Amino acid sequence: MTVSNSTGKECLVVEVVAAHNLMPKDGEGSSSPFVEIEFENQRLRTQVKYKDLNPVRNLKFKKWGPNLLQKSIKAQISD
């Protein structure tokens, strides 16, 4: 989502809300997931949710700048 303001800059908002029914990754039938977001040579990472196959995050990342709609963003859930 982007929002423009009167200075011509845009705001990119990335919301990490929740994941459901993740695949177990350890021998105990669980997972310890986290989310990584890459944007403009920056890497943001959430905290690890230990032993949780249905983690809830409710986090927001904001980035202001020009021409944000023309740039790429990568988000990945890892264990």
> Considering only CA atoms, which of 43, 56, 51, 67 is closest in space to residue 16?
56
CATH of span 2-78:
2.60.40.150
HEC sequence for 8-69: CCEEEEEEEEECCCCCCCCCCCCCCCEEEEEECCEEEECCCCCCCCCCEEEEEEEEEECCHH
pLDDT in tens, 22-46: 888 877 888 899 999 998 888 888 8
- From the CB of residue 38, how many other CB atoms can be counted at a distance below 10 Å? 14
Q: Which pTM does this prediction carry?
A: 0.72
DSSP 78: E
pLDDT in tens, 42-63: 888 888 889 999 988 888 888 8
